[in-house]
Chains A and B, each alone.
Chain A
Amino acid sequence: MRPAPDLLARRLLFFTGKGGVGKSTVTAATALLAAEQGQRVLVVEADDKGAIPGNFEQPSVGFEPREVYPGVCAMAMRTEDSLKEYLKLNLRVPVLGRLGPLARVLDFVATAAPGVKEILTVGKVCWEVRESIEGRADWDLVVVDAAATGHIIGQLDAPRAIQELVSVGMVREQTDWMVELLSDPSVTSLNVVATPEEMPVNETIELVQRARVELTVPLGAVLVNRVLPELFTHTDEATFEALRADDASAVLTSRVGSGATAVLDAARLAVSLRRTRAVHLAELRQAVELPTLYLPYLFVRDQGLRVTKMVADALAQELGL
């Protein structure tokens, strides 16, 4: 399917993906690109691993959003802080001080009651979006480095799960507007980052199928990261194969030295890797029926802001910006 030129024309973008595919980098790059398009962006790090600020070469952030790049603020989700903020906003509680170690209570309730941790994460995100829509907060766009593919359904489905379990009370009332916001295709989209490898592709296909059935959150795009370049056309490849034959490689060795073998082997490796991955890409394209964006494999030595910018540039190109 065509790319999704309107990827950034939402208020809330969730990014998921299998571990190791570069989900945080793609999330950071999306935020950076949106900021360069003039948006004020909040990036939320759902798992508090510190990867997002790292992508901007900034020290780790806390629950309070802090600017990590012009136009981009980042925050780390801490469910305990989220609960505190929630209680402060919703209850006039002198009681709070007498609650004892809130962390332990929360830890307990979160383990005991399914979805509590998730709702505190998604709830805070939704709240920031709603505040922005209603003009009380500044964000044009909230981008979430969300749970990995295995846990994203549980995370995004938390408000509905709570609705099913909790029939009355304050929480019940508040999940209603959250579900509405999360289900609105003009506001929210769930995007999946994958690499063209077997497991990431399988998990993406399974997730997309499940999400269509189990979630009301609209699916956005699949972003395929680390796509290797195609080295040769068909006829060029025949030429390459001929270079690997004894006679030709003898010529090469005499001209450029014994390192010629390494160069030929490296090209062979590049071709095979690309080919193996092409099979997975084709499978992905065929199975998901979603707009697909391709981000190149980056042959760079360093990590950090420069890489984030490179990914953002590639993304801009894919989006036709």
Chain B
Amino acid sequence: MTRAEPRATSIESLLATKEIVIFCGSGGVGKTSVAAAAGVAAATRLGGKVLVLTIDPARRLANALGLEDFGNVEKPVPVEAFKAAGLEPRGQLHAAMLDTKRSWDELVLRHAPDEETAYRILENRLYTNITGRFVQSHDYIAMERLFDVHAAGRYDLIIIDTPPTRNAIDFLEAPKRMADFFGGRLLRWLTMPYRMGGRRGARVLNVASRPFYQLADRILGSQFLQDIAEFFLSFQSMYDGFAQRAEAVERLLHDRRTTFAVVTTLEGAPLREAQFFCEQLTKRDFHLGALVLNKTLPEYLLSADGARAADALAAEAGPIAEELAGTGVAELADAPRTARVLRTIGESFKNFAVVATREAELKTELGRVPDVVANVPNFEIDIYDVTGLARIGDALFGG
């Protein structure tokens, strides 16, 4: 795919030119906060109608976005929340949380040929198990929901954070896998005896498939197999709708209006995963828009001046404390105590400098990265309101 458009040079221009921004990365790197912050920054500075579609926000963050008991429903983030943060949003921010189970139910109701089939599926215990428990089903439903919201055209910009997956690229393949799954030969093969009239049909199976059934029967029991088959037979009636949808979702992910932002911390494992993810996105022709380095330690920890001062404070703590005792400040009157504090802060600086150095090294080892790389510092406090999100947003836009 060739792209004639000019390259985005900042997160700001990315958010201004794209319609969908998908934040991804391994678990625990702060995807949800970064995605929400991008939403706050876009609504504040760029204007327009912005939606943040989130999967599993921290409770306080959900509260800040007004999501406490709304789940799947898109809701405007109250303007008061912005005002409390001293912000005058030019646009409107909306937020929604993805409720996997409910989204699946809606999907079934939409695609089922008739109501009876829909309810037969919804009441099937395998259905509940699959949709409620399987990670892959979260992947698919997130992309499906994204498609739905985008198609409705209510927003200028949709920001989504991806579900925590075992493997970061799983959700990219979810639409295709889902279509393959329902259209697969294997499914037809497995349900064959049941399509041919219950258990008796097994007798007319061909030579190739009989051993499988015999084995499956011995291992799982025929009742269970029949349950599975029944479920998939009902589900197959939705195949055409599903396949078309999955294809459309896939097209949307590849669309030039869509971009991906990979979030990571500067730690070994998440960074390796981020790197892998950047490569996979490029290889599969998705638009890799930005890399966000989250929770990085401040640069001053790397300064040579700081390191020298830390050493000197530890080495000359005694004499310096004596001098400070002479300033007349009550809290500094106890020289031995002051000396102890000076040694402690010198040591602490050196400790954190080690970690900051490790981060800097990991950063230089980064291979292929997108044009935009943003740094978000490690805020010493939890981010749980629009004020905090705006701070992350500033870092995203300024980086």
Contact = CB atoms under 8 A, between A and B. Distances in A.
A286 interface: no
B90 interface: no
B332 A239 contact: yes
A166 B382 contact: no
Contacts of B211: 95, 98-99
A19 B164 contact: yes
A136 interface: no
Interface string B328-342: 011110100110111
Given A105-B212, A165-B227, A248 B348 contact: no
A243 interface: yes
Given A261-B300, A303-B268, 4 more contacts: A100-B208, A108-B186, A257-B308, A265-B298
B341 A165 contact: no
B221 A256 contact: no
Given A108-B190, A168-B221, A273-B380, A236 B352 contact: no
A170 B218 contact: yes
A266 B300 contact: yes
Interface stretch (B78-86, B114-122, B130-138, B239-247): B130-138
A232 B337 CA distance: 11
Interface of B is mostly: helix
A270 B378 CA distance: 11
B196 interface: no
Contacts of A202: 58-59
A47 interface: yes
Given A47-B166, A108-B184, A269-B298, A235 B219 contact: no
Nearest to A83: B219
B221 A301 contact: no
A89 interface: no
B323 interface: yes
A255 B320 contact: yes
A108 B301 CA distance: 52
B171 interface: no
Nearest to B227: A165
Interface in B246-291: 265, 267-270
A239 B384 CA distance: 31
A321 interface: no
Interface of B: 26-29, 58-60, 125-126, 129-130, 133-136, 164, 166, 181, 184, 186-187, 190, 208, 211-212, 214-221, 223-224, 227-228, 231-232, 265, 267-270, 298, 300-301, 303-310, 312-313, 316, 320, 323-324, 327, 329-332, 334, 337-338, 340-342, 344-346, 348-349, 351-355, 357-358, 361, 378, 380-382, 384
Interface residues of A, number: 79
Contacts, number: 233
B293 to A, nearest CB: 15
B215 A266 contact: no
A203 to B, nearest CB: 9
Contacts of B220: 113, 166, 169, 171
A299 B352 contact: yes
**8 A-B pairs with the lowest CB-CB distances in the bound complex, closest first:** A19-B27, A20-B28, A259-B309, A259-B305, A169-B221, A262-B306, A272-B380, A242-B331
Contacts of A20: 26-29, 265, 267, 269-270
B129 A256 contact: no
B345 A240 contact: yes
Contacts of B308: 256-257, 259
A227 interface: no
A93 B212 CA distance: 11
Interface stretch (A36-44, A146-154, A182-190, A311-319): A146-154
A64 interface: no
A262 B341 contact: no
A200 B28 contact: yes
B28 A19 contact: yes
Nearest to B190: A108
A275 to B, nearest CB: 8
A264 B352 contact: no
Contact of A232 (B125, B305, B316, B344): B344
B305 A301 contact: no
